[in-house]
Structure 1
Amino acid sequence: MRPDLLKLAARLAEREERFAIVTVVRREPPSSARVGDVALVSERGEYHGWTGGGCTRSSVLLEAMRAIADGEPRLLSLSPEPEGGRRPGVVFLPMTCESGGTVEIYVEPVLPAARLLLFGSSPAVRVLARIAHAVGYRVDVIDPEADESAFPDAKVQRSLVADALPRGAHVLVATMGDGDIEAIEAALARSPAYLGVIASPKRFAQLRDALLARGVAREAIERIAAPAGLDLGARTPEEIAVSIIAQIVERRRRAAKTGQTENVPVREAVDPVCGMSVKVAGARHTAEALGVTYYFCCAGCRTKFLADSARYLAAGAGARGS
């Protein structure tokens, strides 16, 4: 990989930003890409590097954004005859360049570790911190009296700074009545992917009433897992920790499968000339016709459209954007 792309990847990783590395792994002439060509796509849709000309760039950009959103790598095959060589596990896309050629590109999303915020330092929280770290979470413990030696794999914070809490994190409140309301409100304000509370049904009913009285939306309260954890009949701190991490993982994977994540979906349009999907945000090639914006994978398709727009509009292949 080029040194400048390595440095950019390091900066993005340090800032905990999502991005994808796309690498050409196979080509057939006359494709302009070479095996080993690499590009980096940021979560904002910025494209750095080279994996081929405009005919491949839009497709690669769109698939990279999808990979960043769902966290799944994919192998792309762009060919003039994408239906001719179906292989399991490969995403086939049309190569619209008149020069032809085939190129295969591996897209690998690079995502920061999922965050787990633990309010409190009870025995169950101590076990949960160790398990979560082993599973791959970045763990933060927020408790003014936490013993740092009990959390070797976590960062201990002595006070709650609501504005500094990360968005979309997984959160467990186990403060045992000392600051429950403040911790729950702070977590809800940051759109948590999961919010669980260790509390008895009676205690959580009191918390629910207090939150409603403070203006917290009922819908937000209903999404709180209380008591936290899957119903495994857990009794010991170790069993309680297992039930909670199991619930967090289950909800996280279910959300990823159904697309209900904190990631913003990628808005797409269809090139009215070649039929390829094009990422709307930041599209480089567009044209107006009858008050509608059309999006194109490359300058060549845009030129064809402008030369005979009536033909393509009559075909009804255009996808409208605003």
Structure 2
Amino acid sequence: MTDGTAHDGHHGHHDAADASDDLAERERLLTERGEPYARATVVRREPPVSANVGDRAVVTADGDLFGWVGGASCAQSTVIREAQAAIGDGKPRLLGLAPNPDDVARPGLDAFPMTCHSEGTLEVFVEPVIPVTQLLVVGDSPAARSLARLAPELDIAVTIVDPDRASEEQASGESATVLSTLDPDEIAAEVGVGPFVVVASMGKYDARGIAAGVLADAPYIGLVASSVRATEVVERAAGLLDSDPEAVRNAITNPAGHDIGAHTGGEIAVSILAELVEVRASVGAITASAGDSKHVTAGDASESADADACCSGDHDEAESADSADASDGPHIDPVCGMTVEPEGAPSVTYEGETYYFCCQGCADSFSNDPEQYLDADKGQPAHSR
């Protein structure tokens, strides 16, 4: 597919300044969306050909061409094919098109036949533009910490979601952006479209990380969790998104990472980075088939297989509803039965009563189906106070 600016092959009918402005806007939009593309520039010509030295085009990863480098049968098909290859391997190339490719062949130039009847000669420089890979790391587990520390070595820009860490002074030289919000919409807005996402909060706010990834159209959402907890997290995320749980399940990869026998947080991070490198390379650095079956056991090695780690006693920062009950002393989390001090704890108000939770994960579970956790006769938590 080509843009209208290339129709009829009569480049002289187009205003050069307008065409340049159009291409600049096209590049801006692609960059804003985090999509890779390639610039193609005519650097040499021998008439008769319709393109001139300095004519330019932008080629997307999908093979759409905007701009002008010669007619469809003359140059466009070759430029599109080679531009897509450049996007895939990240390497620029110099193309030569001539009736007899041997006439232009030389070291550093890839020669191709010019198929136009005019039999002119063109040389086109193709330069891939690969956006920096964005990675959203949700959580403060050992694996999450290692992942955030190692990812920049692979030209991956990291954003961390961790309310507790956001309040700390960042370590000297640390380049990651740290977000305090747990609102999926706000997280998605901060990271933009199409980041890679790894969720490793050990149950504290995994569902919110997955929901943010879905909202951001993440091509890869990896979850570090046991299969048992993953099922619970998917249900919570589906509730937050008002979506079908099966659709959410298909959007994630669990366990995240390649099977390298990982056990420590650092090893798990390495296994995940290996997977991200593979995904990035296979799709020109931006898209991937998320939710594929994996044979890795890294998530199970890092966490208890059946216990929801969010109930370990560590409280997340979250908005608490104003209520007279907040000063009444400890409450019982109706989801897991833990004793909770209401000050600073996540809370949900249901039918006029405010309930407090040990973590955002339990709060989200309760929000999805309050009756599941309440005594049907008394409207009280199934766990006695």
Alignment of 1:269-288 (within 5 A): none
More strand by percentage = 1
Give the paired residue count: 254
| Structure with higher RCO (Cα < 8 A, 6+ apart) | 1
* Residues 1:21 and 2:39 are matched in the alignment: yes
Stretch of structure 1 that moved more, 150-159 or 116-125: 150-159
TM-score by length of 2: 0.53
Partner of residue 236, structure 1: 264
Q: Could you say what secondary structure the match of 2:170 adopts? A: helix
| RMSD of equivalent CA atoms | 4.0
Distance 1:261 1:74, change over 3 A: farther
Gaps of 5+ in 1: 263-322
Alignment of 1:1-322 (within 5 A): 8=24, 12=28, 15=32, 16=34, 18-31=36-49, 37=54, 39-41=56-58, 43=60, 45-47=65-67, 51=69, 56=74, 58-59=76-77, 62-63=80-81, 66=84, 70=88, 72=90, 73-81=92-100, 90=110, 92-96=112-116, 98=118, 100-146=119-165, 147=168, 149-150=170-171, 152-159=174-181, 160=183, 161-164=186-189, 165-211=191-237, 215-256=243-284, 261=288
**Deviation, structure 1 residue 107:** 0.9
Distance 1:169 1:29, change over 3 A: same
What is the CA deviation profile of residues 76-129 of structure 1, one whole-angstrom value per residue up to 9, with x for unaligned ones? Answer: 33223469888998362534152x321121211212111111111233222212
Instruction: Give the greater-gyration-radius structure (CA).
Output: 2
**Deviation, structure 1 residue 183:** 1.7
Distance 1:204 1:110, change over 3 A: same
Distance 1:225 1:51, change over 3 A: closer
Q: Could you say what secondary structure the match of 1:145 adopts? A: helix
Distance 1:186 1:204, change over 3 A: same
Identity, % of aligned pairs?
35
Between the aligned partners of 1:93 and 1:228, the Cα distance in structure 2 is: 46
What is the CA deviation profile of residues 217-261 of structure 1, one whole-angstrom value per residue up to 9, with x for unaligned ones? Answer: 42541452223222222222221211111122223334459x975
Between the aligned partners of 1:229 and 1:87, the Cα distance in structure 2 is: 43
What is the CA deviation profile of residues 107-157 of structure 1, one whole-angstrom value per residue up to 9, with x for unaligned ones? Answer: 112121111111112332222122211101121112212245248121112
Stretch of structure 1 that moved more, 26-35 or 185-194: 26-35
What is the CA deviation profile of residues 3-48 of structure 1, one whole-angstrom value per residue up to 9, with x for unaligned ones? Answer: x78x94997387355442223355445556666x35242647432x
Look up the equivalent residue of 1:190 and give its one-letter code.
Answer: A
TM-score by length of 1: 0.62
Q: Could you say what secondary structure the match of 1:149 adopts? A: coil
Between the aligned partners of 1:14 and 1:212, the Cα distance in structure 2 is: 30
Distance 1:261 1:40, change over 3 A: farther
Look up the equivalent residue of 1:252 and give its one-letter code.
Answer: R
Q: Could you say what secondary structure the match of 1:117 adopts? A: strand
Q: Is the 8 A contact 2:47 2:120 kept in 1?
A: yes
Q: Is the 8 A contact 1:18 1:68 kept in 2?
A: no
Q: Could you say what secondary structure the match of 1:46 adopts? A: strand
Look up the equivalent residue of 1:128 and give its one-letter code.
Answer: L
